[in-house]
Amino acid sequence: MTHRIAVIPGDGIGNEVMPEGLRALEAAASRFGIDLALEHFDFACCDYYEKHGQMMPDDWFDQLKDFDAIFYGAVGWPATVPDHVSLWGSLLQFRRQFDQYINLRPCKLLPGIKSPLADRKPGDIDFYVVRENTEGEYSSVGGKMFEGTEREVVIQETVMTRYGTDRVLKYAFDLAASRPRKKLTSATKSNGIAITMPWWDERVVAMSGHYPEVSVDKFHIDILTANFVMHPDWFDVVVASNLFGDILSDLGPACTGTIGVAPSANINPEGRFPSLFEPVHGSAPDIAGKGIANPIGQIWSGAMMLEHLGHKEAADAIVEAFESVLSEGDTALMTQDVRGTGTTESLGRAIARRIATC
Ligand code: NAD
Ligand code: IPM
Ligand code: MN
């Protein structure tokens, strides 16, 4: 069976980490006899937008809807296109229109990488952020009034639905129930945000009734960020609204030494639409063009994609390969964010070689 994959490298370092993501995928595909048909799309600020004044063609949905998955780099080039225009013109459309309501973001301290937190070692940080990915604070409900005057007003509503909240909570509880520690933490802010957040807490309590084996706790988002830094070992599965999940899924990887290694899966669990796999990081204009971006976030996202497509063994081989290359710690191969002197390509090639042989 052939898996059709839409490949969208995007902007900036998206174009540098994507070739390494594909190199790893191809190494795994050839070792495990997986048939991948890749098709490339130029939906980016510095590409399609430059030519057409919009991020994607009007029929993007029909062009992409029958793919088995989307492999995505990062989009954004604020020097020429405002970020809300580029992101609402692409990535956020995929999440919404393809109903990718789960954003699954593993956060793991990898061997050979030093945590900025004192004395933390692999095993101390190993949890998932499950981020609600289609509603919440990322809403298009709102508007501006009296623009340009002293009476200017801007409003943007948070939209939470019972359907949308319960389905992400169910996914998070199922994930927690499947893990040895069986622990779920809910991110909330029910002291200050007094309508949506106490309601979110109620939905967590209601869902927990179906999972007596899962222990549940909750923290207000402010102290939760502090606890990520002070006690990252407390966490197993952390479920959060769209914005809180966004923030936690940069902070978590920062605690593991670099956001460059963090992957994500934007999943439509029912498989009605393609799911999308991308690193957590963005297009990093500050280092774009230098060939020094860490490719592991992209490579690990490729592993998550293979697992989603039913190839767990191949996915595990990719993770094993980058963990073994990292643990050897050859600084000539490593990128600068993990204290190396190598390049995106040197690290990517070393990992692909290891996938082929380990
Ligand atoms: P960013 O993630 O691009 O960069 C933040 C910092 O982390 C930068 O200093 C960067 O050099 C570093 N960094 C990021 N990835 C790295 C890697 N693989 N290796 C080493 N260092 C890495 O976030 P930002 O600066 O807030 O955003 C830049 C652009 O990317 C904006 O246009 C933003 O909207 C966009 N963005 C896109 C996505 C996406 O497409 N999924 C995600 C986040 C940000
Ligand atoms: C992410 C990114 C996006 C988000 C941006 C680029 C819109 O930060 O995937 O985490 O906020 O979801
Ligand atoms: Mn983010």
Confidence of residue 357 (pLDDT cuts 50, 70, 90): confident
pLDDT at 358 over 80: no
Residue 244 lies in a domain: yes
- Copy the structure tokens of residue 119: 């004395």
Q: How confident is the model at residue 280 (pLDDT cuts 50, 70, 90)?
A: very high
b/e for 215-227, b at 16 or more Cβ within 10 A? Answer: ebebbebeebbee
Write out pLDDT tens, residues 131-156.
Answer: 999 999 999 999 999 999 999 999 99
Distance from the alpha carbon of residue 47 to the mean position of ligand 1, in angstroms: 18
- As a residue count, the chain comes to 358
Q: Looking at the predicted structure, is the pLDDT value of residue 130 above 90?
A: yes
What's the mean per-residue pLDDT of the chain?
Answer: 98
By CB atoms closer than 10 A (0-12, 13-18, 19+), residue 231 is: exposed
Q: Could you give the CA distance from residue 280 to residue 287 in angstroms, rounded to a whole number?
A: 16
Q: Could you give the percent of the chain with pLDDT greater than 90?
A: 99
Q: Does the pLDDT value for residue 286 go beyond 90?
A: yes
Q: Where are the alpha helices (DSSP H) in the chain?
A: 14-32, 50-52, 60-64, 83-88, 91-97, 162-178, 196-208, 221-230, 242-255, 296-308, 312-328, 344-357
Local confidence band at 206 (pLDDT 50, 70, 90 cut-offs): very high
> Which ligand is nearest to the Cα of residue 55, counting in written order?
1
Question: Looking at the predicted structure, is the pLDDT value of residue 316 above 80?
Answer: yes
**338-344 mean pLDDT:** 97
114 within domain boundaries: no
Mean pLDDT of 262-273: 98
Closest residue to atom 6 of ligand 2, CA basis: 87
Q: Does residue 185 carry a pLDDT above 80?
A: yes
* Residue where a domain stops, chosen among 206, 230, 255: 255
- Give the chain's domain count: 2
pLDDT in tens, 27-66: 999 999 999 999 999 999 999 999 999 999 999 999 999 9
Shared domain check, 233 and 145: yes
Q: What is the pLDDT of residue 95?
A: 98
Render pLDDT for 9-26 as a digit per residue (tens, 0 to 9): 999 999 999 999 999 999
> Closest-lying ligand to the alpha carbon of 250?
3
ipTM: 0.99
Mutate to test the pocket of ligand 1, among 15, 283, 298 (most ligand atoms within 8 A of CB): 283
Ligand 2 atom 7, closest CA: 87
Q: Tell me the whole-structure pTM to 2 decimals.
A: 0.98
Phi/psi for 253 (5° steps) reads -60, -35
- Let me know if residue 349 belongs to a domain: yes
* Same domain for 233 and 286: no
CATH number at residue 193: 3.40.718.10
Residues 241 and 291 in one domain: no
Distance 281 CA to ligand 1 centre (A): 4
The domain of 161 spans 126-255
Mutating to test ligand 1, I would choose from 45, 281, 287, 290 the residue with most ligand atoms within 8 A of its C-beta, which is 281
Question: For a pocket test of ligand 2, which of 11, 77, 81, 92 has the largest count of ligand atoms closer than 8 A to its C-beta?
Answer: 92
- pLDDT recorded at residue 120: 96
pLDDT of 273 higher than 80: yes
